[in-house]
Structure 1
Amino acid sequence: MSALRGEKPQNEFFVVRILCLTVLLSSFAQAPRTFGQEQTGGSVQVALPPQQHPHSEAVAPLQDLLSEAEQNNPQIQAARQGWQSAKQIPSQVSTLPDPQFNLQQVNVGSPRPFAGYTNSDFAYIGLGVSQDFPYPGKLRLKGEIAKREADLVQQQYESVRRSILAEVKSAYFQLAYLAKTLGILESDGQLLQQVEKAADGRYRSGMGTQQDLLQAQLQQTKLLREIAMHHLEVGKRQAQLKQLLNRAQDSPDIEPTGLVETPLVQTYADLLAAAQVQNPELASAQKMIEKQSLQVNLARKDFYPDFNVQYMWQRTDPTQFRAYYMLSFGVRVPIYRGRKQRPELAQAEAEQSRARSELQAQSQQVASELRAQYVIAQQTSEVLKIHREGLAPQARAEFQAGLATYQSNKQDFQALLTAFLDVLHLDEEYWQNVAEYETAIARLEQITGLSLR
């Protein structure tokens, strides 16, 4: 009788736990996960189970979100506007200085302006204009330098654009991964229910222990905790993606499409060749060298003088004298070369050398980052193949065999629970690797400027 009294509360506790788990998991309304794939071209397409969000909307393709980010992201807009601003500078600095117009009036013996010519024969009115002329070639060089500066700003804009789009892709892939793993937790939760039922059956028949049943129930609770943590991470990724798209945080949530294992057909040499031509950081470093070379030429031009031309018309008493016409020519001579022009030239040459060194450093950095992401993509692709063709089916077969053996009292519970955890962890690890693989592909796209998907 005491054994029966101890069993009844335990059974009621078991039923309550099962009901709680069923209610929570059914809220996801997701189709059971399998490792079957749909072949779409060269890609492995895996459909994501539908999820219910507080503010859900239609599935958003990645390409639509990328276009939206290009149009609406404030960082991209600011960089684009900075480029448009820089393009207005070359014409300003390559144009002659504005001319200066002069009006002169001279009286003798009278402080009143324009007193006339009656007070003195030396009274006159004069009109003149003067124009500064930099040494030939200086304005052209200044315009070329400003053009290179605008090209630098353009490459900075391109770098910002690619960086933001890579962040959008990363957040999107993480959302897709979380959506898929929520489906995995739901379907693998059904496997755990089978384990718990088997433990309960053995406990009722006296062949198992209460510890086995409690361990199964503990694993159910851990599963609920993992689901809650996944929803927390989904909220963070939704907030990040909405920020990148410049959407209001209370706008409908973004539902990703399925994760796609994009085939990488390009070799490292192909990707490196594309990066050397299209990478904005390398292009920016190259433009900096061109700019500094022009700056050296301009510093050499500063050793030569600038000029000024002035033309003046003067009128005295028209009844006695004819008008005067005066043309003057001035030269600004750089006589402080040792303290001004020579240090300026040395500075420009040092900046030119620094720009060349920075290009070499940037080339090494791009090649290194490209190699790292290429290796990640290649190795992760091999791991995914091992998962699909070996680990996943083997783990599931081991679990099913272990469950049957446990139900026939030929295996201990710990071995069965370990087999279940292997299935759960391998399923989650598979989709995490898919997300990491796609993130590496996105990084390769950012570095090379190629569209790889």
Structure 2
Amino acid sequence: MSRVSLAATLVLAAAFSAFGQTPAASTPTPLSQLLAEAGTNNPQISAADHGARAARQVAPQVTTLPDPKFTYQQLSVGSPKPFAGYTNSEFAYIGIGASQELPYPGKLRLRGEVAERDADTKQAEVGVTETSIADAVKADYLQLAYLQQTLGILRQNEAVLDQLIQDATVHYRVGQGMQQDVLQAQLNRTKIVKEITMHHQLMGQVQAHLKSLLSRDQGSPDIVTEGLIETPITRTSDELLAMVRQNNPQIQVDASSIRKQDAQLASAKRESKPDFEVGYMYQNTDRKYRDYYMFTFDVRFPHKSRVNAEIAEAAENRAESQQTLAAHLQQQLAEVQQEYIKVTSDEELLKEYREGLVPQSDAAYQATLNAYASNREQFTQVLSYFTDLLNLKLEYAQTLVDHETALAHLETLTGAALR
């Protein structure tokens, strides 16, 4: 074998042993660090948190008695002029009074429970926002890791192809090869250069989206990820499905909404009770007449038709919330099952790549390369095996990122740490 062919083999062997993991220009940032940063800085999470805090301030408002009313009266007699008759009629007076509405016992408490349950729902929605942002950060991070890793594969294979082009050129010059071999190798190199350019474009897009999730300046240094490593799944399908009912953020929102509607229904039924209002007024006349003292007690009876409509509305809203919960639960359970099947299938496929396809393809490529060096094989066969090996390595990387992305989504669905 020529020294050029030997160099090409060594370069490709190094690329295979590392599976395309190229040294990073800067220190990789762990995913956990970016998740913490997103939780602190993401404006969507902050906005949802402020909304939940605002909702907590509703209960003190609706459980407080209605504002008291203070009244000032002046009654004139014999003339519309102020204080007319005040000194010569016992009917003229200056009155000062106050009144207070008193809702039927239990109404304010139930309104407060509705407000508290609504605040609980808002808080649960914060969890949905947090997990949604975390899921997006994970997806971007894994995609970026995949692009950085496969970029390393492409660059290493570009270097290998450069060596093969030189080797084919040497063979052609000494009459042991054809010019079309060189041209075919150069065409393959152009394809790899095109893939590298597309990788840079995709990496730029993912970097921009990831920085927006982290609320970083777009001009900040690019994020370098840790290398992709296969994470075996240790949970069974039944365990994951059980976690959905307990930990899934959307299910928690739906369950909280039902509790809110329960409180709303109880409050609507209580609204059928009458409300009261008490008042007291002191009326001052001239000193030669006696003063007046007046106490009032009013009762307000709600219209039955309105109250019945409120009760019916609350009951329908509760039924809607129950059906929404059932629909979301089935949807989340189906997603968990689908992702679980994908994860387990990908693990089998990764093992096949790692233990069978890639080593066999590498061995076939090197054997063909040795045969070509001894003029026992055509250069087209070398390029064919080289392309097959490159594609297998890229397919392995794609399967790996699909596996890790499915695991990350399972974490979102189940609330469990799986990676």
Normalised to the residue count of structure 1, the TM-score between the two structures is: 0.85
Q: Is the 8 A contact 2:63 2:109 kept in 1?
A: yes
Aligned partner of 1:352 in structure 2 is: 318
Please state if 1:281 is matched with 2:250. Answer: yes
Q: Is the 8 A contact 1:305 1:333 kept in 2?
A: yes
Matches within 5 A, 1:151-230: 151-230=120-199
Using the TM superposition, give the Cα deviation of residue 114 of structure 1 relative to its aligned residue in structure 2, in angstroms.
4.4
The residue identity in structure 2 corresponding to 1:279 is N
Offset from partner CA, 1:375-407 (integer Å, 9 cap, x none): 221111221111111111111111001111223
Q: Which piece of structure 1 moves more, 105-114 or 228-237?
A: 105-114
Alpha-carbon distance in 2 for matches of 1:170, 1:380: 17
Matches within 5 A, 1:50-449: 50-52=23-25, 58-114=27-83, 117-321=86-290, 323-334=291-302, 336-338=303-305, 340-449=306-415
Using the TM superposition, give the Cα deviation of residue 204 of structure 1 relative to its aligned residue in structure 2, in angstroms.
2.7
Offset from partner CA, 1:242-288 (integer Å, 9 cap, x none): 11111111111111122222222111222222221111111111111
Distance 1:413 1:296, change over 3 A: same
Using the TM superposition, give the Cα deviation of residue 116 of structure 1 relative to its aligned residue in structure 2, in angstroms.
7.5
The residue identity in structure 2 corresponding to 1:331 is V
Alpha-carbon distance in 2 for matches of 1:100, 1:318: 28
Alpha-carbon distance in 2 for matches of 1:412, 1:158: 61
Offset from partner CA, 1:69-114 (integer Å, 9 cap, x none): 1111111111111111111111111211111111112121344434
Offset from partner CA, 1:352-371 (integer Å, 9 cap, x none): 11111111101101101111
Instruction: Give the count of matched residue pairs.
Output: 408
Alpha-carbon distance in 1 for matches of 2:239, 2:23: 38
Alpha-carbon distance in 2 for matches of 1:77, 1:257: 28
The residue identity in structure 1 corresponding to 2:416 is L
Can you give the 5+ residue segments of structure 1 that lack an aligned partner in the other structure? 1-30, 37-45
Q: Please give the secondary structure, in 2, of the residue aligned with 1:79.
A: helix
Alpha-carbon distance in 2 for matches of 1:409, 1:198: 12
The residue identity in structure 2 corresponding to 1:254 is I
Using the TM superposition, give the Cα deviation of residue 317 of structure 1 relative to its aligned residue in structure 2, in angstroms.
2.2
Q: Is the 8 A contact 2:29 2:226 kept in 1?
A: yes
Offset from partner CA, 1:20-64 (integer Å, 9 cap, x none): xxxxxxxxxxx943336xxxxxxxxx8942345xxxx53222111
Q: Is the 8 A contact 1:83 1:154 kept in 2?
A: yes
Q: Which piece of structure 1 moves more, 431-440 or 403-412?
A: 403-412
Q: Is the 8 A contact 1:48 1:176 kept in 2?
A: no
Offset from partner CA, 1:292-339 (integer Å, 9 cap, x none): 222222222222211111112222223331x322221111112x423x
Can you give the 5+ residue segments of structure 2 that lack an aligned partner in the other structure? 1-12
What is the RMSD of the two structures over their aligned residues, measured on CA atoms?
2.1
Q: Is the 8 A contact 2:124 2:256 kept in 1?
A: no
What percentage of aligned pairs have identical amino acids? 46
Q: Please give the secondary structure, in 1, of the residue aligned with 2:16.
A: coil
The residue identity in structure 2 corresponding to 1:74 is P
Alpha-carbon distance in 2 for matches of 1:302, 1:389: 71
Q: Is the 8 A contact 1:95 1:139 kept in 2?
A: yes
Distance 1:228 1:187, change over 3 A: same
Q: Is the 8 A contact 2:131 2:249 kept in 1?
A: no
Using the TM superposition, give the Cα deviation of residue 194 of structure 1 relative to its aligned residue in structure 2, in angstroms.
4.1
Alpha-carbon distance in 2 for matches of 1:250, 1:268: 43
More helix by share: 2
Q: Which piece of structure 1 moves more, 222-231 or 428-437?
A: 428-437
Using the TM superposition, give the Cα deviation of residue 416 of structure 1 relative to its aligned residue in structure 2, in angstroms.
2.1
Q: Is the 8 A contact 2:20 2:153 kept in 1?
A: no
